[in-house]
Amino acid sequence: ANVWTNWDGLLSFKGGKFVGGWKPRATIFKNVGVFQYDRAMMPLELELFLLFYDYFNHVDNDSGVLYPPIHAYFPRWAFDEVDAIVAAGATSGTGTGAGAIAGIDAVAGHCGTWLFGRKGDAYIALYSKEASEWKSDIEYAVQSTRKNAYIVELGSADESGTFVQFKEKISKAMVDVRSNPMGYDVKYVSPSRGLVTVDWDSPMVVDGKVINLGPYDRFDNDYCHQPFGTRRTVITCGNQSLLLDFDTLERVFNSTV
């Protein structure tokens, strides 16, 4: 089961509406992350063009209403159990598998809701600051605003106890997310990491310690090593290699097979 958030954009037509688009400010420490989606206004012509684009890609199938392209890919069918709990502590709805989702839909429109998923002994909690709702069995989308802040926390049976205990601790945890002219001011008391604070520009601080957010290597694996900020990518596998140079627009494939 995979979960991610996204604000898709003009290039999304190449791979669907969960690919490409506007990048968030992503701040992650171990099993806790904060993702802020926002952007500055562009010239009127571009804003109108994006609105036209959104109309053909983000229209609710049931109501015909246009909705913003900020959403989470959260495939309910992929989990053994799914639940949604209003962050203030009021709970409603518990589902098991893809069929028992009526209770989730009943609370999904609330502002400040935690979504929970369990796959075996692994858990995920995803918080959406802005009011969101299910658009399909995989898409949980913002209702009206063109910005959002997500908080994610991962857990497991070994580290977090039962799924019920995991949900109870996180849904009752303090969450204070306030909108700024750009981004948000986020404060979250993680049950596993303590107080997490971050905004659009400042460092991420967890339990009183400033977290090193990089820059790290853009790619660092058996096939490619590329320092962050460079524009030349070399991918190798066995006797084959692929060079991508984004300054010269050069693409070179070599094979000695």
Residue range(s) defining the domain that contains residue 88: 4-210
Whether residues 114 and 241 fall in one domain: no
> Mean pLDDT of all residues in the chain?
84
From 210, 229, 246, the end of a domain falls on: 210
Whether residues 136 and 249 fall in one domain: no
Backbone region of residue 12 per phi and psi (left: phi > 0; alpha: psi in -120 to 50; beta: other values): alpha
Q: Write out pLDDT tens, residues 114-159.
A: 999 999 999 999 999 988 889 889 989 887 778 999 999 999 999 9
Backbone angles phi, psi at 200, to 5 degrees: -70, -35
pTM: 0.77
Whether residues 140 and 118 fall in one domain: yes
Whether residues 12 and 127 fall in one domain: yes
CA distance 216 to 219: 9
Retrieve residue 227's tokens: 């320092």
- How many other C-beta atoms can be found within 10 angstroms of the C-beta atom of residue 164? 13
Write the CB contacts of 70 (distance below 8 Å, at least 6 apart in sequence).
5, 6, 7, 37, 130, 141, 142, 145, 146, 147, 148
- CA of residue 47 relative to chain centroid, distance: 23
What is the DSSP-derived secondary structure letter of residue 179?
Answer: E
Whether residues 147 and 242 fall in one domain: no
- Looking at the predicted structure, is the pLDDT value of residue 237 above 70? yes
Whether residues 184 and 229 fall in one domain: no
CA distance 93 to 219: 41
Write the CB contacts of 136 (distance below 8 Å, at least 6 apart in sequence).
61
Retrieve residue 220's tokens: 């660092």
Residue 154 vs residues 106, 166, 198: alpha-carbon distances, Å? 24, 10, 18
- How many other C-beta atoms can be found within 10 angstroms of the C-beta atom of residue 151? 24
Q: Write out pLDDT tens, residues 75-119.
A: 999 999 999 998 753 333 333 333 333 333 333 333 589 999 999
Whether residues 41 and 122 fall in one domain: yes
Whether residues 197 and 230 fall in one domain: no
Structural domain count of the chain: 2
Whether residues 225 and 194 fall in one domain: no
Contact 193, 206 (CB under 8 A): yes
Whether residues 226 and 199 fall in one domain: no
- CA of residue 169 relative to chain centroid, distance: 21
- CA of residue 50 relative to chain centroid, distance: 21
Whether residues 227 and 113 fall in one domain: no
Comparing 67-71, 158-162, 204-208, 224-228, which segment has the lowest mean pLDDT? Answer: 67-71
Parallel, antiparallel, or unpaired for β 139-142 and 70-73? antiparallel
Whether residues 140 and 82 fall in one domain: yes
pLDDT at 163: 98
Using alpha carbons, select from 64, 65, 149, 131 the residue that is nearest to residue 140: 131
